[in-house]
Amino acid sequence: MKFYLVIVILAVRIFEGCDCKMVQFIFGDSLSDVGNNKYLSKSLAQASLPWYGIDIGNGLPNGRFSNGRTVADIIGDNMGLPRPPAFLDPSLSEDVILENGVNYASGGGGILNETGSYFIQRFSLYKQIELFEGTQELIRSKIGKFEAEKFFQEARYVVALGSNDFINNYLMPLYSDSWTYNDETFIDYLVGTLQEQLKVLHSLGARQLMVFGLGPMGCIPLQRVLSTSGNCQEKTNKLALSFNKASSKVVNDLGKQLPNASYRFGDAYDVVNDVISNPSKYGFQNADSPCCSFGRIRPALTCIPASTLCKDRSKYVFWDEYHPSDKANELIATELIKKFGFKRVDQAETPSPSPEVAPSPSDD
C-alpha cells in the first residue's frame, strides 16, 4: 500500500513540475508603469493619449509615461529578462505570468496609502503587494505549492517609489501630512513604512530585490517652473538625499537580517543629477523644460494631442513636466548598469537561493 502511495505522490510532483523562467516583479509609480493606470478609468494620472508612446512599438500610447521605454524596461532587456506586462492587462494569465512576471507599478502611487489621493485611482505600494499576493494564489493553483515557492524565490524584484510621497503629498498643503510632520519626522514615517513593506515582500518569497532611490526631483520641469527663479528647488533635492540615506540603511540592514535575502539599494541620484547639470556632456540640449508642452503655458502637467512637441526628442532630458524622455532613460539605465554591475541572468555568478524549506509530500 505504501508503495502505491509513493507512486501517486511522485506522479503529483511530476504533474506539478514547472520548468519556469526567471522573471521580474516590479512595484513602482509612473516611472515604471507600463499600463496599469490605463485600465483605471477614474484615474487622473494617465498616459493614454498621444503623444505618449510615440517612439516605442507602433507609436501609440501604451501606458508608459514617456515617449518610449522606462528605465526598468531597458535594464531588464540588458539582463535578458522578459518585460513584465501590467497587472491589469486583460491578456494576463497564469501562463503569461510564468513566462514574463508582472508589473504592478501605478502612476501617482506612493509608499504611503494617502499619497496621490487627488488622482482618485492609483495603486499604492501596499495595494501593489496585495495584488502580488493574489498573483501568488493563482500560480500556486497552477503549478503547486512547492514549485510556486521556488518560482517566486528565484524571481527578481524591483521596488521604485517615493517621489510622489513628496511631490504629490508632503510638499502639497492640501495633504494633512504636510502640516502633521516636519522634514525629519516625515522621512522617518516614510522609510519606516517602506521597511515594513519590504519585510512583507520577503515573507512572500522576495529574495533578490533592488530598491531604487530618488533622483534630484527638485529639478524636474514642474518643480523648476513653480520656483521663482526657474532653478532647481534645493529643498526638494535635499529631501530626496535624506530619503536615499535613510532608505539605503534600511535596505542594507534588511539584507543582513532577513534569511537568504540579497537586498540592494540603487542610488541613482548622482547619475541623474550629472545628466541634468551637464546635459551637453551626454548629447542633450535641454534639461530644464519638457519636450511635450503647451509652449509658454506652464506647467502643462500632462502631454495631450494638442501639445507641441520639440523638434528633436533625443535632445531633451524630460519628456513632460515629470518624466524623463526615452533617450534620458536609456542613458540613466546604461549608467546604472555600469554602476551596479548588473549582469545577464544567464551569466550570474551565483545561483538564486532555493526555497528554505521543502514541504513534505503530505502538504500537497
Residue 231, domain member (yes or no): yes
Residue 146, domain member (yes or no): yes
pLDDT band, very low/low/confident/very high, at 238 (cuts 50, 70, 90): very high
Residue 60, domain member (yes or no): yes
Q: Which residues are catalytic?
A: 30, 320, 323
Residue 42, domain member (yes or no): yes
Instruction: Look at residue 6 and tell me whether its pLDDT is greater than 50.
Output: no
pLDDT, position 297:
81
**What CATH number corresponds to the domain at position 118?**
3.40.50
Over the stretch 134-192, which tens digit does the pLDDT of each residue have? 999 999 999 999 999 999 999 999 999 999 999 999 999 999 999 999 999 999 999 99
Q: Where in the sequence is the domain holding 193, given as residue range(s)?
A: 24-269
pLDDT band, very low/low/confident/very high, at 7 (cuts 50, 70, 90): very low
- Cα 262-149-250 angle, rounded to 5 deg: 30
Over the stretch 283-335, which tens digit does the pLDDT of each residue have? 999 999 999 998 778 888 899 999 999 999 999 999 999 999 999 999 999 99
Instruction: Look at residue 228 and tell me whether its pLDDT is greater than 50.
Output: yes
Q: Alpha carbon of 145 to those of 90, 140, 141, 151, 233: distances in Å? A: 25, 5, 8, 10, 50
- For residues 200 and 209, give the distance between their C-alpha atoms in angstroms, rounded to a whole number: 13
pLDDT, position 348:
58
pLDDT band, very low/low/confident/very high, at 88 (cuts 50, 70, 90): very high
Over the stretch 18-72, which tens digit does the pLDDT of each residue have? 778 999 999 999 999 999 999 999 999 999 999 999 999 999 999 999 999 999 9
Residue 172 φ then ψ, to 5°: -115, 120
Residue 9, domain member (yes or no): no
Number of domains in the chain: 1
Residue 128, C-alpha cell as written in the block? 501593489
Closest C-alpha to 98, from 32, 23, 27: 23
Q: DSSP assignment, residue 361?
A: G
- Cα 199-202-208 angle, rounded to 5 deg: 125
Instruction: Look at residue 125 and tell me whether its pLDDT is greater than 60.
Output: yes
Average pLDDT of the residues in 96-109: 98
Residue 19, domain member (yes or no): no
pLDDT band, very low/low/confident/very high, at 358 (cuts 50, 70, 90): very low
Burial 179-212 (b: 16+ CB within 10 A, else e): eeeeeeebbebbbebbbebbeebbebbbbbbbbb
What does pLDDT average to over the chain?
91
pLDDT, position 301:
82
Beta bridge partners of 266: 212
Cis peptide before 179 (omega within 30 of 0): no
pLDDT band, very low/low/confident/very high, at 17 (cuts 50, 70, 90): low
Residue 334, domain member (yes or no): no
Residue 211, domain member (yes or no): yes
